[in-house]
């Protein structure tokens, strides 16, 4: 098992650095909550997201190792260097813009990714002296989902989380409520 994890980690570490998107749209809900989402996301970012998701699917098929995808939103702009202090070394993240990050909890089941997300929020809250500016959407691992549907689903979960959640970390279960 350890050999499979090391081989999978070696394959995963071959990813390159990512470029962030500059076009942001602000949506305001009936409750006055602001939602920042990228408009016409840079095709480079979409391609890199697709490569990352497909790579995780390949790792699963080859080594039978699960991972979990997440989307982090932070109200204050967050740099890659700042976020890297709070994300586990085994996990990967990619900036989508200065407020959103796509996270791969590598070699992690959804329950453990949920706990890791709670830890990230706790550490970011502590660092920024805030208690309501960070949300994370966590989606289950399903190799039948296309990379675009993974991202769309994470966006839906994040919107619902900001609207009506009692928790700042939510899974796809919030879409069924």
Q: pLDDT digit of tens for each residue in the chain (177 aa)?
A: 555 555 554 554 544 333 333 333 444 443 344 444 455 567 888 899 999 999 999 999 999 999 999 999 999 998 999 999 999 999 999 999 889 999 999 999 999 999 999 999 999 999 999 888 899 999 989 999 999 999 999 999 999 998 876 789 999 999 887
pLDDT of residue 10: 55
Q: Is 56 left (phi over 0), alpha (psi -120 to 50) or beta?
A: alpha
Tokens of 126: 């502590």
pLDDT at 132: 84
Per-residue tokens: 23? 């076009």
Which residues, including other chains, have CB under 8 Å from residue 155's CB and lie 6 or more apart?
A: 37, 71, 137
Where are the domains positioned within the chain?
Answer: 2-176
d(CA 126, CA 26): 26
The class of domain 2-176 in CATH terms is alpha beta
The token pair that represents 91 in the structure block = 């996990």
Q: What is the pLDDT of residue 43?
A: 84
Residue 154 to residue 41: CA distance in whole angstroms: 15
């Amino acid at each position: 098992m350890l050999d499979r994890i090391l081989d999978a980690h070696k394959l995963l570490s071959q990813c390159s650095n990512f470029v962030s998107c500059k076009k942001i749209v602000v949506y305001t809900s009936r409750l006055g909550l602001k939602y920042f989402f990228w408009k016409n996301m840079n095709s480079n970012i979409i391609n890199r997201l697709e490569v990352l998701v497909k790579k995780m699917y390949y790792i699963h098929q080859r080594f039978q190792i699960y991972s979990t995808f997440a989307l982090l939103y932070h109200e204050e702009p967050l740099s890659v260097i700042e976020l890297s202090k709070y994300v586990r070394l085994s996990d990967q993240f990619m900036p989508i813009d200065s407020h959103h990050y796509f996270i791969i909890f590598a070699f992690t089941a959804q329950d453990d990714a949920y706990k890791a997300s709670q830890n990230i929020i706790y550490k970011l809250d502590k660092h920024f002296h805030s208690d309501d500016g960070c949300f994370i959407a966590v989606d289950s691992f399903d190799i039948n989902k296309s990379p675009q549907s993974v991202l769309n689903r994470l966006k839906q979960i994040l919107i619902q989380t900001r609207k009506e959640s009692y928790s700042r970390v939510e899974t796809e279960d919030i879409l069924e409520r």
